[in-house]
């Protein structure tokens, strides 16, 4: 894949999302659905790699770049991740004067809600690809319930799911 195109696609995903995982629908659409550069399995692997290590949630994009174009792709993805940080400072000084206006606040809330809806829509095919065995389905459902209805930290749920999966692998 062309490195400049890879950079532009990942930059678009980063610049149009509010947090790391909010870029997932854009990334899936560009790399899995439209261009067929990645499979859902590779995107799942990239997400796991990005979420397992410390740091921001958006680091999965470096793995996406790696899967798309090797080490140069990972570097292009890293540059796409850090570019907005250099652009946001002048932008925030300009927006700061208008952030208290009700219409601006409403627009920001609407974008956040739309982003959440897109994230759910992109997660469904990825879940279908990852949850192929009955135990995996149980882990997904239990993890969702625990995260949605309790205040348990995400890393405890990930650790528990990993322990259950590893235990099943060792016993089976």
Same domain, 99 and 141: no
**71 and 56 within one domain:** yes
My answer on whether 10 and 89 are in the same domain is: yes
The answer on 103 and 73 residing in a single domain is: yes
Helix-, strand-, coil-residue percentages of the chain, each rounded to 5: 85, 0, 15
Instruction: For residue 154, give its domain range.
Output: 132-172
My answer on whether 106 and 137 are in the same domain is: no
| Tally of domains within the chain | 2
**Is 92 found in the same domain as 45?**
yes
Are 34 and 71 members of one domain? yes
Residues 82, 140, single domain; the answer is: no
The pTM of the full predicted model, rounded to 2 decimals, is 0.63
**Same domain membership, residue 142 and residue 65:** no
Which DSSP string corresponds to 107-151? HHHHHHHHHHHHHHHHHHHHHHHH--SHHHHHHHHHHHHHHHHS-
Name, in order, each residue with C-beta under 8 angstroms of 137's C-beta and a sequence gap of 6 or more: 131
Question: Along the 172 residues of the chain, how does pLDDT read in single tens digits?
Answer: 899 999 999 999 988 876 668 889 999 999 999 999 999 999 999 998 888 877 777 789 999 999 999 999 999 999 999 888 888 777 777 777 676 778 877 887 888 888 788 888 888 888 888 888 899 899 989 999 999 999 999 889 999 999 998 999 898 7
């Amino acid at each position: 894949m062309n490195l400049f195109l890879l950079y532009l696609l990942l930059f678009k995903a980063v610049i149009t999302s509010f947090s790391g995982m909010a870029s997932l629908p854009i990334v899936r659409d560009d790399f899995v659905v439209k261009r067929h550069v990645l499979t859902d399995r590779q995107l799942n692997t990239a997400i796991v790699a990005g979420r397992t290590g410390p740091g921001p949630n958006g680091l999965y994009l470096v793995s996406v770049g790696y899967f798309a174009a090797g080490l140069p792709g990972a570097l292009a993805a890293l540059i796409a991740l850090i570019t907005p940080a250099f652009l946001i400072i002048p932008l925030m000084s300009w927006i700061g004067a208008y952030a208290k206006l009700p219409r601006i606040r409403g627009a920001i809330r609407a974008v956040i809600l739309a982003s959440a809806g897109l994230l759910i829509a992109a997660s469904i095919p990825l879940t279908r690809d990852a949850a192929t065995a009955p135990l995996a389905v149980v882990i997904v459902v239990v993890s969702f319930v625990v995260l949605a209805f309790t205040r348990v930290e995400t890393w405890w749920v990930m650790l528990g799911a990993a322990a259950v999966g590893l235990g099943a692998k060792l016993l089976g």
